[in-house]
Structure 1
Amino acid sequence: MNKAELVHWLQTEQQQWEALLTQVGVERMEQPGVNGPWSMKDLVAHMTGWNRRLAAYMQAAQRGDPEPPPPWPAHLQAGDEINAWIFEAYHGRAAQAVLDEARQTMQQVIAVLERLPADVPIEADHDAAGNAYYRVRIGGVRFPPGEFFEHFHDDHEANVRAWLARAE
């Protein structure tokens, strides 16, 4: 895979994501039960919180800067603690604001990729099922620019689709 194909893949994933968000609808975005007690808004916030960290780190690596601090308090290290912080930080926000931030953050990731040289090293890791996970090297560090979508497909999509089936 080359850079143009990776950017195209991310844009295609984003289009599919937007179609899913349209299916959910802003009016149902805060209904609980999508992923345990989480609403779709909570799920989008969860994934966006982690994607904000990825975007900032990729931007820093592109400039040759050290890894920036995470968007959550630095003393939080465990995934569950970070997820709880993200939930609390975003839970009171309006659904549209959460969706807008998710879109903006994904655009930051894509913009970093677009500024990279055409021959940037891109690697594909595969899981046992044969799914590809793409990694790009920036300043000697491997980054997963599609982590937002990879995580969604692996850990949350089945729950969202089951919730939608029940709701419809």
Structure 2
Amino acid sequence: MAKQELLQELEQGFQELLRAVEGLSDDAATRVWYGTWSVRDIIAHISGWHREMAAALERVARGERPVPEGVDYSDADAWNARFAQAHADTPWPQMLAELKASKDAFVAAARQVPEDRFEEGRVAYRILHNAAIDHYREHMPAILEWRRREGL
């Protein structure tokens, strides 16, 4: 799949994610329902991965390894908690703005990466899927089901 097609798939998924969370009040967005998380926490950790992987894509674009020396992403739960905690006090409207800004930074970084890195299985392909395309798909059904169940 070509870079542009992946970026279009990312954008489509992002717009679906936005539709799933827009219109929530601050109270609803910060209500815990997903284990120990709220919608804000879910969005905060997605935003965190956008930011973290934008930096990885920038390194790839410079011909460097995506992960800097000494950084280990193998404990995704710890990273997720860190990203959510960073926005524990962020009001919902600002969290939505950060989600959009982080996605824009992520896409801008992806555009710098050479086309061949987006071939299936290559590093940019994996980053776009793991941090965005598949990530949106992972969380959207639960959010939509919660909204349906709560009448939101």
Query: Size of the alignment, in residue pairs?
Result: 150
How far the C-alpha of 1:61 sits from its partner, in A, is: 1.4
TM-score, normalising length: structure 1: 0.72
Higher radius of gyration, 1 or 2: 1
Q: Which amino acid aligns with 1:165?
A: R
Is the 8 Å Cα contact of residues 90 and 98 (structure 1) preserved in structure 2? yes
Provide the C-alpha distance between the structure 1 equivalents of 2:61 and 2:113, rounded to a whole number of angstroms: 8
Q: Which amino acid aligns with 1:59?
A: E
How far the C-alpha of 1:23 sits from its partner, in A, is: 4.8
Is the 8 Å Cα contact of residues 24 and 164 (structure 1) preserved in structure 2? no
| Structure richer in helix, relative to its length | 2
Higher relative contact order (CA 8 A, sep 6+): 2
Q: Which amino acid aligns with 2:142?
A: N
Share of identical aligned residues, percent?
A: 22
Change (3 A) 1:49 1:160: same
Change (3 A) 1:83 1:136: same
How far the C-alpha of 1:41 sits from its partner, in A, is: 0.5
Provide the C-alpha distance between the structure 2 equivalents of 1:69 and 1:99, rounded to a whole number of angstroms: 28
Q: What are the ranges of 5 or more consecutive residues in structure 2 without an aligned counterpart?
A: none
Provide the C-alpha distance between the structure 2 equivalents of 1:4 and 1:85, rounded to a whole number of angstroms: 31
1:122 aligns with 2:118: yes
Q: CA RMSD in A?
A: 2.9
Match in the other structure for 1:56 = 55
Q: What are the ranges of 5 or more consecutive residues in structure 1 without an aligned counterpart?
A: 125-134
Is the 8 Å Cα contact of residues 45 and 102 (structure 1) preserved in structure 2? yes
Provide the C-alpha distance between the structure 2 equivalents of 1:144 and 1:68, rounded to a whole number of angstroms: 11
Match in the other structure for 1:131 = none
Match in the other structure for 2:143 = 160
Divergent runs of 4+, >6 A:
none
Match in the other structure for 1:130 = none
